[in-house]
Amino acid sequence: MFEKIKIFFEELETDSLESKKDVLEDILSLAKEEGLIEIDKGKKVDDLKIVQTKYFGKKGIISDLMKYMGKVSNKDKPILGKIIHNFKTTLEDKLNQRFTVLKKTEINAKLETEKIDITLPGTNSQRGHKHPLTLVEEQIKEIFTNIGFTVVEGFEIEEDYYNFERLNIPKDHPAREMQDTFYLNEDVVLRTHTSPVQARIMDKMCPQLPVKIIAPGKVFRRDDDSTHSPMFHQIEGLMVDKNITFADLKGVLLHLVKSIFGEERKIRLRPSYFPFTEPSAEVDVSCGNCNQEGCRVCGYTGWLEILGSGMVHPSVLEMAGYNSNEVTGFAFGIGIERIAMLKYGIDDMRLLFDNDLRFLEQF
């Protein structure tokens, strides 16, 4: 077909197209009939694409005809344009119709073979579990928010000033030896406790009273064994107001212990030392494993240590802007891992960070 068209236009060089248009129309009529037959024979969309390329592609018959538009006289251009248009339109319409039919047929066939049997039983997805540390943290948050405390957050990367000095631990203070600190530079550390939050909150709220907050978060120390981790979790508690006493601290901590471990549990406060509280106390809970009769879990003492606490040091209050002669307060720091280990009977802290599903699915 391409050769016939080429010969026709070579012989047309000295003649007018108008006198020979019947010859070209006959050539294209045969091409059109051939094209319509090829379209009808197409059983797949891919078959039609081959026909489409043959007639409408860059090297197809239509493109070949269009090249001769620039070679005929201006008088013959409209005649050639009309002939090409009629040839093109007939094939194009037929091709589009056939495309629509075959695409619909292929879609229906695909839907039939990919039909979903909704009567088949579904597959069970594995459900996730809350981590034991998350469970304990959420429980402690609920206990304190129910008695009027607000949950706040602090910075994990903290200034040395707030991590130590604002907590009554100046440069070269021996208490800095108590904590193996990760220093990022001389003045910036990974916080060793959540206590800097109390200093920042008092700065923000002073002279407003009361201050009643808990501050959960990650803390970091250079320590790693079965009972210590270089990254662990604490919840700082702080209450500041007029006429706050040590009895208030004991009452709040007793409420905490009974809420977590059960109404039958008791607490014991032992004198201790923290630079930012005075007086300070370690808090023990009665051993639930032996009912205080003494066992391996409690070291045969009947008590288990759970947190540190005390009355906010007057210097800490004064640095925040409060008058320590009129305002008092208490603070405490709870190790979430410690509570989780006691609550669930976990004997190695590293289990909490191993991401072993056999361990986590127990909770």
Identify the band that residue 310 occupies on the pLDDT scale cut at 50, 70 and 90.
very high
Q: For residue 229, what pLDDT is reported?
A: 79
Q: Are residues 355 and 232 in the same domain?
A: yes
Among the three residues 56, 79, 113, which one is the final residue of a domain in this structure?
Answer: 113
Q: Are residues 173 and 266 in the same domain?
A: yes
Position 124 in a domain: no
As given in the structure block, the two tokens for residue 235 are 């919840």
Average pLDDT of every residue of the chain: 86
Q: What is the pLDDT of residues 327-351, one digit of tens each?
A: 999 999 999 999 999 899 888 888 8
Position 121 in a domain: no
- Compare 126 and 231 and report the one with higher pLDDT: 231
Q: Are residues 29 and 98 in the same domain?
A: yes
Number of domains in the chain: 2
Q: Are residues 37 and 136 in the same domain?
A: no
Position 122 in a domain: no
- Taken in order 186, 188, 192, 197, the sign of the CA dihedral is positive
Q: What is the pTM for the complete model shown?
A: 0.64
Q: Are residues 138 and 275 in the same domain?
A: yes
Q: Residue 2: pLDDT above 60?
A: no
Q: For residue 15, what pLDDT is reported?
A: 64
Residue in 67, 66, 72 with CA at minimum distance from that of residue 88: 66
Stretch 148-168: mean pLDDT, rounded? 94
Q: For residue 14, what pLDDT is reported?
A: 57
Q: What is the pLDDT of residues 250-285, one digit of tens each?
A: 999 999 999 999 999 999 999 999 999 999 999 999
Identify the band that residue 33 occupies on the pLDDT scale cut at 50, 70 and 90.
confident
Question: What range does the domain containing 265 cover?
Answer: 132-360
Which residues are paired to 214 by β-bridges? 151, 237
Position 203 in a domain: yes
Distance CA 68, CA 17 (A): 11
Q: Residue 1: pLDDT above 80?
A: no
Position 118 in a domain: no
Instruction: Enumerate residues 6+ apart whose C-beta is below 8 A from 144.
Output: 151, 214, 237, 256
Among the three residues 52, 86, 113, which one is the final residue of a domain in this structure?
Answer: 113
Q: Are residues 86 and 214 in the same domain?
A: no
Q: What is the pLDDT of residues 178-207, one digit of tens each?
A: 668 888 998 999 999 999 999 999 999 999
Q: Which of 78-82, 100-104, 203-207, 313-317 shows the lowest per-residue confidence on average (mean pLDDT)?
A: 78-82
Stretch 19-48: mean pLDDT, rounded? 76
**CA 146, 209, 162, 321: dihedral to nearest 10 degrees?**
-170
- Taken in order 286, 291, 294, 298, the sign of the CA dihedral is negative
Position 127 in a domain: no
Helix 246-261 to helix 132-145 angle (10° resolution) is 130
Task: CATH number of the domain at 171, please.
Answer: 3.30.930.10
Position 333 in a domain: yes
Q: Are residues 69 and 143 in the same domain?
A: no
Q: Residue 70: pLDDT above 70?
A: no
Q: Residue 317: pLDDT above 60?
A: yes
